[in-house]
Amino acid sequence: MSPTPNYEFQKWWNKEKERNHALLLEKSGNPSWSAVEIHSPTAAVEKDHNRSARQLSWVYLLKFQQVTNCLSWLTNGFLSLLGTANRRIVSNSNPSSRSGSRLYRVIKVFMVLVILLLLVELLAYFKGWHFSPPSMTSDKVLGLVELVYATWLSVRANYLAPPLQAMSNVCIILFLVQSVDRILLVLGCFWIKFRRLKPVSSMEFSGDIENGNPQDYPMVLIQIPMCNEREVYHQSIAATCVQDWPRNRMLVQVLDDSDEADLQLLIKAEVQKWQQKGVPILYRHRLIRTGYKAGNLKSAMSCDYVKDYEFVAIFDADFQPGPDFLKKTVPYFKVSLYSVPLC
C-alpha cells in the first residue's frame, strides 16, 4: 500500500527551488561579483607591482655601475694623457734631447694635419659636398672651409691619386701572377696523379757500410737546435747518433740555447758520451739568443768546416728519425748541385 503524498513538503520544495533559481539569475546578471569574490585580483596586482619594482631596481643598479665604470675609465685616460704630456714637456725642455725631438715634432704636425683633414671630410659629408664638391675654378666665392676642402680635393686628385693608382695596379699584377702560379701548381699535381709519377733516386745506399766504399756517401751535416728541452734532448741526440751512415762522412751539431746551467751540463755530458763512442758530434752554446732558432742555425752555419759538407739535415729537438733516414732521403737529393736541407 503506497504512502499518502505529503503536499506541504512538496509546496515547500517548490518554493525553495524557485528562490534558488532567482538567486542564480541575479548572480549571472552581475558576473564580476563572482570573479571578485573568488580570485581576489588586488593581491595578485600588488604582487606583480612588487616584482617589477625589484627588477627595475636591479636594472638601474646595473646601469649605474656601467656609467661609473665609463667615467672612471675616462678619468684614468685623461690623467694618463696629462702625465704623458707633462713628461713630453719636461723632456723637450732638456737641451740634450732637443735634437732627438725634431722627428717627434714632425710627427705631431703630421697628426694635426690628419685630424684637421678628417674634420673637414666629416663636415663636407654632413654638408653634402661629396655629391657636389666645391671647385677652386668656379666663379662662386668660397668660404674658408670650402676653400680648404677644395684645395684638399685638388691635392688628392693631382698628387695622391696617381701613386696610389700605380700601387694598386702593381698589386693587381702580382695577384694575377700568383694566381697563374697556383693554377700551374694545381695542374702539375693533377698531371703527377694522372701519370702516377714517382721520384726516382739516382743511387741507393742499401749495402753494408763497413764493406762498402765510404767515398760513395756524400758529406752530411746534421743540426739539432734546442732550447731548454729537458725531456727530449736525450732521445733526439741518441736517434741522430745511431744513423746508418759512415762516421767520417757525417757531423752532428748540438745547438743549445738553454739558459739553465744544470741542463747545459746534462747535454754536454750526453754529447761527451757519444764522442767516446766514436760519433763525430759537437756541442755549441750561445750566450745571446739573437734570432732564436733561426739565429741559432745561422750561427752554426758560419763555422769554417761547414763548407766541406754537401747536405744539411735539420732535426728538431722533439723529432726522432729512424736509423735509415739518411739512406732513404739523400739519394733523392744527390742530383742537386748545391746543398739542400732535408727537413
Which of 38-42, 52-56, 214-218, 257-261 has the weakest average pLDDT? 38-42
Summarised one tens digit per residue, pLDDT across range 89-100 is 666 555 555 555
Residues near 66 by beta carbon (within 8 Å), at least 6 away in sequence: none
Task: Supply the mean pLDDT for the chain.
Answer: 78
Amino acid at 72: S
Q: Which domain holds residue 169?
A: 101-198
pTM: 0.46
Q: Does one domain contain both 180 and 244? A: no
| pLDDT confidence tier of residue 337, bands split at 50, 70 and 90 | very low
Question: Are residue 156 and residue 261 in the same domain, yes or no?
Answer: no
- 277 and 320 inside one domain: yes
Give the model confidence (pLDDT) of 221-268 as tens digits: 999 998 888 888 888 999 989 888 888 889 999 998 888 888 889 999
- Do 28 and 134 belong together in one domain? no
* Secondary structure in 3-state letters for 166-205: HHHHHHHHHHHHHHHHHHHHHHHHHHHHHHCCCCCCCCCC
Would you say residue 57 lies in a domain? no
Mean pLDDT across 161-187: 95
Q: β-strands 281-285, 220-226: how paired?
A: unpaired
pLDDT in tens, 205-217: 766 666 667 777 8
pLDDT band of 191, cuts 50, 70, 90: very high
Q: Are 313 and 223 in contact (CB under 8 A)?
A: yes
Highest mean pLDDT among 5-9, 14-18, 44-48, 255-259: 255-259
Residues 222, 190 share a domain:
no
Please check whether residue 178 lies inside any domain of the structure: yes
Distance CA 218, CA 214 (A): 8
Residue 67 belongs to a domain:
no
Residue 194 sits in the same domain as residue 286: no
Please say if the pLDDT value at position 171 is more than 80. yes
Q: Quick one: 248 and 287 in the same domain? A: yes
The reply to whether 227 and 271 lie within a common domain is yes
pLDDT for 94: 55
Vertex 151: Cα angle to 150 and 157 (nearest 5): 90
The answer on 175 and 238 residing in a single domain is no
**Cell 653634402 found at:** 128
Quick check: is 52 in a domain?
A: no
Q: CB–CB of 281/252 below 8 Å?
A: yes
**Which cell numbers in the block locate residue 140?**
662662386
Q: Using alpha carbons only, what angle is made at residue 296 by residues 290 and 300, rounded to the nearest 5 degrees? A: 130
Same domain, residue pair 194 and 230: no
Q: What is the CATH number of the domain that holds 256?
A: 3.90.550.10
In total, how many domains does the chain have?
3
Mean pLDDT throughout 68-78? Answer: 86
Domain co-membership, 183 together with 270: no
Domain end, chosen from 135, 163, 198, is at: 198
List the 220-226 sheet strands across, edge first: 281-285, 250-256, 220-226, 311-314
Query: With bands split at pLDDT 50, 70 and 90, how would you rate the model's confidence at 102?
Result: confident
194 and 223 assigned to the same domain: no
Residue 110 lies inside a defined structural domain of this protein? yes
**Side-chain half-sphere of 228: how many Cα atoms within 13 Å?**
4
Does a structural domain hold residue 188? yes
Average pLDDT (293-312) is 88
Does 32 or 269 have the greater pLDDT score? Answer: 269
Angle between helices 31-39 and 41-93 (to 10 degrees): 60
* pLDDT score of 91: 61
Residue 24 domain-assigned (yes or no): yes
Q: Is residue 302 included in any domain, yes or no?
A: yes
Contacts of residue 313, defined as CB under 8 A and 6 or more positions apart, other chains included, come to: 220, 221, 222, 223, 325, 326, 329, 341, 342, 343
Q: How far apart are alpha carbons 299 and 124 in whole angstroms?
A: 58
